[in-house]
Structure 1
Amino acid sequence: MAQFDLIIRGGTIHDGTGAPPVLGDVAVKDGRIVAVGQVSGDADQVIDASGKIVTPGFVDVHTHFDGQVTWENRLSPSSGHGVTTVVMGNCGVGFAPCRPDQRDTLVKLMEGIEDIPEVVMVEGLPWNWETFPEYLDALDQRRLDIDIAAQIPHSALRVYVMGERAARKEPPTAEDLAAMRQLVAEGIRAGAFGVTTSRNVMHRTKAGDLAPSLYSDVDELCALAAGLNDADAGVFQIIPAPAEPAEVEFPILRQVAEKSGRPISFTLLDVPNQPGEGWRYHLAGLEQAARDGLTMRGQVAPRPVGMFFGLDLSLHHFSSHPSYKEIAHLPLAQRVAIMRDPAFKAKLLAEQPEDTNPTTLMLIAAFRGTYQWDDAPNYEPQRDDRVDARAEAAGLSLDEYAYDALLGHDGRAVFYLPAANYTEGNLKSVREMLGSPHTVMALADGGAHYGLICDASFPTYFLQRWVRDAAPDEQIDLADAIAELTGRTAALIGMTDRGRIAVGLKADLNVIDLDALKLHVPTIEYDLPAGGKRMHQKADGIVCTVVSGEVTYQGGVHTGALPGRLVRRGELAQAA
């Protein structure tokens, strides 16, 4: 009988702490790491990692798999990028707690904010829960390719406590605040890892109604924070209002941190047209908070926070034109055929976009700043390649150029809009934010934005762009980069049993060929409930991924293993 279940031999081991790597082996038994270094003995399975790096499994603290995890066993696209643990329920949206008559409200919120089609959720969600502890119990029954952890979403909580008053401009009563506080503490004690909220006015239903959390004042946020304090556990995740000056927003974040006495993390972006350089103000605030003994972290995206447009995606230049709305339900091939009719083109070009949601109209107007992708991703395009610049060079109006361009590749042409984090066409602000000891790399949003954003590939991009391909003056050390994806994110959320390669810890591991890392252009697949579509983005170079000692992916192909489970706060092994 073999001494070990698995041995990964001869790899360059990065242990997730930022320490220099060592050449050696990692042995696994019963889902745990039992030896690191020069390991003798045999195993049921041996993986040759010569010339490769061996890392802990990546811990992604910002996802939205709250729905997908109830109907699907594979949490793609995140699980295809070395992620072995995801934390969901971010941005204040989710599906618990929820009374039966409130389900439609939460579905519409998730549809508008996270771009998950309503029909997909109606078909896929089993709704075998009402309270948040019952939601965790339902997740306990799931068998997955990676581990999941949940947070309590503020908008769902607000609707549960206040009913119809939650979506109106009504302040909560003292009884409402007390109930929210109590339910946060209850959820944390049941195993939630935190509570989340949003102050971003772009977070609306598809019809344009604001998310319930947007009607909250600071006293309500502090009530949620007090629930964390009552439970003496958990983290507070928040999206600040991006249009507000940082001088207004950061004191609110700090007040929440002080009230909760718990770690707080927030979305940190270089937002176009934000008054001043708000991200610098936030960084300075984080430094002061650390000096004052507060644990506050900015969640930073490693590339532009961008969106995709196309005829087969959620939005494009004409998606709110009346004539296009009449054919939007048709299969792509039929829409393309209709749009190639000169009479239809003339009719459509004579129209203006119409929509009740101002965010939708704003995004459609932003199409002028997109870049068309061909056979390779380009996250740092040059301004001369923008759609509006190409239209001008061709002597065409933006509408005329966009119409013809959208029909390229039989209607499958993809257009990328780098929005935040891309000041004057460079990533200098991103590098500075990533370099702070008070930030973590996050915001990949796996499980959401199926037809608009495809950022679950952040870990692959991070290693490719900032480690392997970066200029010497901006390069991030590989050991630090691995720690950023593993040990530091695990520590932020309070996961003590993973994120590092050490004896006794959970055997979540990756073997990676750094030289071969490569991202592909996202593809659209119709693989959701009710025939819903989403973007996938494949990667080369991830040799294999291991979850709880079982190989789940080899060469990007799922092995069929489903060792992933719900992780409850408080049930983690307290390994050193």
Structure 2
Amino acid sequence: ALRVYVMGERGANREPASPADIAAMAALAKRAMEAGALGFSTSRTLNHRTSDGQPTPTLTAAEDELMGIALGLKAAGRGVLQFVSDFADPKAEFGLMRRLVEASGRPLSFSLLQGPKAPEAWRDLLAALSAATAEGLPMRAQVCGRGVGVLLGFELTLNPFSHTEAWKSVAALPLEQRMARLAEASFRAALLDDAVPPGSAAIASRLTQDWDNMFLMAETPDYEPRREDSIGALARARGVAPEAVALDHMMTRGGRGMLYLPFLNYADGGLDPAYDMLRHPDCVAGLSDGGAHVGMICDGSFPTTNLTLWARDRTRGPRLPLEHMVRLQTRATAETVGLLDRGLVAPGLRADLNVIDFDRLAVEPPTVGYDLPAGGRRLLQRARGYVATLVAGQVTYRDGEPTGALPGRLVRGAQDAPAALAAE
């Protein structure tokens, strides 16, 4: 937003920023921090694209541009830096981030995930992070406790048949009418025959037909599924096509059955890399995507999964202490963005609390709601076991239902710790 605001079409087209452009961005970043922004974030990943498929305008932003903005935060004396990157060249990219911190003195966090193309690269990044923090640089990695991926289904943005002509012929129909057509034996046969038409195999196999890494979303979600439970493995065991297994499951629940495709943090078919990241002293729990990609991603349940999977339910490897997982999602997160008036249970801090029945705590399967403007669709996922949620001392949710109390207020910028706590 900052780049395009200053540079217009030149910024959107990823042209290099001029010295005047950089000066304008730095000045605006400084003003934003002084007005109460928490920090500056930038995207350097090909996973983020515009609505017409173009890479994000900041993908190739040069170091002088990013340095100018970081120095704008330095001039304000406040604000954090945040990066998401593909780390195509991990050494060079981390070096860039480190130089920004060294020059600006501002804290920086970056998203750290295991990718399928270089499944060990995250270890090198963690080693570089440890070296930087050992020298006193305020840097952290944001990590997540489960695979990052997409949900597929007949009610969602994509399904394994989205690219077929047969599906396109019914895609615009209301769900009930689509299901009626899918129940017809002749249409089902046409859909399966049309599953991978000529010319579309590459994109289909990359995302919507990665059968050996795709799983059935059950009534009790399993976020560390085994390879032998993949759709590909089930199809081979049953002697049928994987497309048929996927189709049958998506037809359940009145056409609302979903498929789960993790493509980050799951290159090994398990969550041991996530375990190592979560226990690293320079990592915090993050990346809970609760408001974007609303027809494909439902990761707002990360915080609950972090507690249930890692502190109670995991069977495929070691667990983590409950108090460790709570700290990662409370005080450690608050410190990362400079909100030092919360994240602990202590006199003088905000009384923002969850009262949890840990034995009952669980995430429910994702569902689709149509409560956005003009009946827009979004994925939802409820949890049970939260007895009460308090914001500033007032109960805002009780047993998962809103009480009507709305005590929350706009937070302008970093918040200092109370004097008594700071003295400790």
Compute the displacement of 1:491 (Å): 0.9
Compute the displacement of 1:189 (Å): 0.6
Q: Where has structure 1 moved over 6 Å in runs of 4 or more? A: 353-356, 358-361
Q: Name 2:296's counterpart in structure 1.
A: 452
Compute the displacement of 1:175 (Å): 0.9
Kept in 2: contact 1:355–1:361 (CA 8 A)? no
Q: Name 2:145's counterpart in structure 1.
A: 302
Compute the displacement of 1:367 (Å): 5.4
The 3 A distance-change label for structure 1 pair 570 and 462 is closer
| Distance in 2 separating the partners of 1:232 and 1:240 | 25
1:323 to 162, 166, 169: 166
Compute the displacement of 1:215 (Å): 3.4
2:266 corresponds to 1:422: yes
2:375 to 518, 528, 531: 531
The 3 A distance-change label for structure 1 pair 387 and 469 is closer
Kept in 1: contact 2:338–2:414 (CA 8 A)? no
What stretches of structure 1 of length at least 5 have no aligned partner?
1-155
Once the two structures are superposed, the pairs formed by residues 9-20 of structure 1 within 5 Å of their partners are none
RCO greater where, 1 or 2, for CA within 8 Å and sep 6 or more?
A: 1
Compute the displacement of 1:472 (Å): 12
Kept in 1: contact 2:45–2:59 (CA 8 A)? yes
Q: Name 2:251's counterpart in structure 1.
A: 407
2:46 corresponds to 1:211: no
Q: Name 2:104's counterpart in structure 1.
A: 260
Aligned residue type for 2:369:
E
Q: List per-residue Cα deviations over 1:459-480 (Å, max 9, x = no partner).
A: 2111112122356983322322
2:66 to 221, 224, 239: 221
Kept in 1: contact 2:340–2:415 (CA 8 A)? no
Aligned residue type for 1:339:
L
Q: Name 2:156's counterpart in structure 1.
A: 313
Q: List per-residue Cα deviations over 1:498-553 (Å, max 9, x = no partner).
A: 11111111111121111221121111111111111222222121110100111001
Q: Name 1:469's counterpart in structure 2.
A: 313
Aligned residue type for 2:156:
L
Kept in 2: contact 1:316–1:367 (CA 8 A)? no
The 3 A distance-change label for structure 1 pair 453 and 367 is farther
2:353 to 476, 485, 509: 509
Q: List per-residue Cα deviations over 1:39-76 (Å, max 9, x = no partner).
A: xxxxxxxxxxxxxxxxxxxxxxxxxxxxxxxxxxxxxx
Aligned residue type for 1:539:
A
Once the two structures are superposed, the pairs formed by residues 16-415 of structure 1 within 5 Å of their partners are 156-242=1-87, 244-274=88-118, 277-348=120-191, 349-350=193-194, 352=196, 362-366=206-210, 369-415=213-259
Kept in 2: contact 1:544–1:552 (CA 8 A)? yes
Compute the displacement of 1:299 (Å): 0.3
| Distance in 2 separating the partners of 1:232 and 1:397 | 60
The 3 A distance-change label for structure 1 pair 381 and 181 is same
| Distance in 2 separating the partners of 1:323 and 1:471 | 41
Compute the displacement of 1:411 (Å): 1.1
| Distance in 1 separating the partners of 2:295 and 2:307 | 25
The 3 A distance-change label for structure 1 pair 204 and 366 is farther
Kept in 2: contact 1:245–1:278 (CA 8 A)? no
Compute the displacement of 1:158 (Å): 1.1
Compute the displacement of 1:355 (Å): 11
The 3 A distance-change label for structure 1 pair 472 and 421 is closer
| Distance in 2 separating the partners of 1:351 and 1:375 | 27
Q: List per-residue Cα deviations over 1:111-133 (Å, max 9, x = no partner).
A: xxxxxxxxxxxxxxxxxxxxxxx
Classify the secondary structure of the residue corresponding to 2:371: coil
Kept in 2: contact 1:264–1:295 (CA 8 A)? yes
* Count of residue pairs brought into register by the alignment: 418
How large is the RMSD of aligned CA atoms in angstroms?
A: 2.4
Deviates more, 1:345-354 or 1:322-331: 345-354
2:280 corresponds to 1:436: yes
Classify the secondary structure of the residue corresponding to 1:198: strand
